[in-house]
Amino acid sequence: MAKKQQEFVTQITPREENFSQWYTDVVLKTEMVDYGPVKGTMVIRPYGYGVWELIQKEMDARFKATGHENAYFPLLIPKSFLEREAEHVEGFAPEVAWVTRGGTEELAEPLVVRPTSETIICEMYAKWLQSWRDLPMMMNQWCNVVRWEKATRPFLRTSEFLWQEGHTLHATAEEAQEETLKMLEVYREFAENVLAIPVFCGQKSEREKFAGAAATYSIEAMMQDGRALQAGTSHNLGQHFAKVFDIKFLDKDGSHKYAWQTSWGTSTRMIGAIVMVHGDERGLVLPPKVAPIQVVILPIAAHKEGVLDKAYELKARLEAAGIRVKVDDREGQSAGWKFNEWEMRGVPMRMEVGPRDIENGQVVVVRRDTLEKEFLPMEGLEAAIEERLQLVHDGLYQKALKLRESKTVDATTYDELKAGVEKGFVHAMWCGDEACEEEIKAETGATTRNMPFEQKPFSDVCVHCGKPAKYEIYFAKSY
């Protein structure tokens, strides 16, 4: 068995050796994803899609609880729509896919495959919005988007990905800002309580904000290699789009006013974040709340009478308690091989049931995150497993938090910043000048991530240029 284990583990490049190759090995070998035939595309295989379905279910419930409804807007957007908002077209035009022919005819106006849906949704909102009674208008869409990216990696950056995009209209600037921050908070709570990923919340710099937004806010997570991954964004669009798409309403006072708008999104790149935050040398480690299989039951000496029956009986009991369970009763694979395979696939708990366990009225369970083994009585197993799944979640969160703390430094000098971004996040004071930000990026490869809401200045001068400091902010290299 030790030998088999060795064989299995060596399929995955060690993290320390090459983190990037480790990531690719994990996502491909666990069969979460594969490369699509067109450069830069991915195929999300059932095991990866199962994670996405659980993400969708958890998020969708939160969107509905905050008053949003789902809708579906067309994939193909007239070129002229994209061009109406100047910053928006500048940001997106270089990276869209163009439909120029329909059936056998050349199109008079080319269409873009949506890279995001602000413009087409604005066109419809302008038609639907009449009076203050129609506000707020709050919709969300689950769909695919296409961005013609040059350098791609499965989940992290692909020319097509799946996401949700929320789009809301409000009567006042205050309500739009409140919505923007409310949805950022939904993302934070989701990242931490569902994905077990601690995040920094804050506002993006002008340079890093969404093309066409008045302000962008983000949640930023740290991967194990110290790089940042923007895991969700929430934009206050102000009246930028409302003015060019003529989204107006008749207010209570009898006057026509432009609406205030927000949009917010998260995507399948969150799956990449899960892999890079929680994975280890054995492979994937899935947070229990989005694990398609939470407990894998391995019958030991499955040919002996009663073993398989007991395994399926336990499965039925756990499933009745809402736990996602698989019995691995494949023949022709050793128990050791199966242990390794399910560890690689990141199943949060393994359960072993053999003749002696049945005799003793107990099972063996092993936590994926710590590999701790314990005996649990079959009686009351449901509650014991639920409790341990929560412990796995908590353990993963704490481990990620500690890693982030160990790789985040306060910098007051540029040398400290340069050293810090080689390891992880740098917390610093910054002048707010875009040219200074550009210089830091050019010299270090790091970008500004976001500015905490509660600003606690700890230096008077910019970490780079020495001019008066305006913002407390995080810098990091990013995915």
Q: Which residues bind a second copy (CB under 8 A)?
A: 34, 36-38, 41-46, 49-50, 52-53, 69-78, 81, 94-104, 110-111, 113, 120, 123-124, 127-128, 139, 143-144, 146, 148, 159-160, 162
Nearer to a second copy, 71 or 301 (CB): 71
Q: How far is the CB of 46 from a second copy (least distance, A)?
A: 4
Structure tokens at 165: 């995009």
Angle (CA) 181 55 92, round 5°: 60
As a whole number of angstroms, the distance between CA 274 and CA 196 comes to 8
- Joined tokens for residue 115: 């890279």
SS (H, E, C) 203-260: ECCCCCCCCCCCEEEEEEEECCCCCEEEEEEEEEEECHHHHHHCCEEECCCCCEEECE
113 vs 451, beta carbon nearer a second copy = 113
The pair of structure tokens assigned to 21 is 């190759």
410: its two tokens? 């306060």
> Which residues have a Cβ under 8 Å from the Cβ of 55 and sit 6 or more positions away?
194, 195, 270, 271, 290
Q: Are residues 392 and 367 in contact, defined by beta-carbon separation less than 8 angstroms?
A: yes
What's the sign of the alpha-carbon dihedral 351, 354, 356, 358?
positive
CB of 441 to a second copy, least distance (A): 22
> Residue 14 or residue 46: which is nearer to a second copy going by CB?
46
Measured distance CA(24)–CA(153) in Å, rounded:
8
| Cβ pair 168, 139 in contact under 8 A | yes
CB of 42 to a second copy, least distance (A): 7
What is the smallest separation between the CB atom of 154 and a second copy, expressed in angstroms? 12
Q: CB of residue 77 vs a second copy: minimum separation in angstroms?
A: 8
Kindly give the pairing relationship between strand 105-113 and strand 76-78.
antiparallel
Per-residue buried b or exposed e for 281-295, using 16+ beta carbons within 10 Å of the residue's own CB: ebbbbbbbbbbbbbb
Closer Cβ to a second copy, 85 or 160, answer by number:
160
Instruction: Decide whether 36 or 336 has the Cβ nearer to a second copy.
Output: 36
Least Cβ distance, residue 89 to a second copy (angstroms): 13
Least distance between a second copy and beta carbon 463 (Å) = 35
Query: In this complex, which beta carbon is closest to a second copy, that of residue 148 or of residue 258?
Result: 148
Between strands 295-299 and 325-327, the pairing is parallel
Least distance from C-beta 68 to a second copy, angstroms? 9
Q: Which is nearer to a second copy, 37 or 322 (CB)?
A: 37
Residue placing its CB nearer to a second copy in the complex, 101 or 304:
101
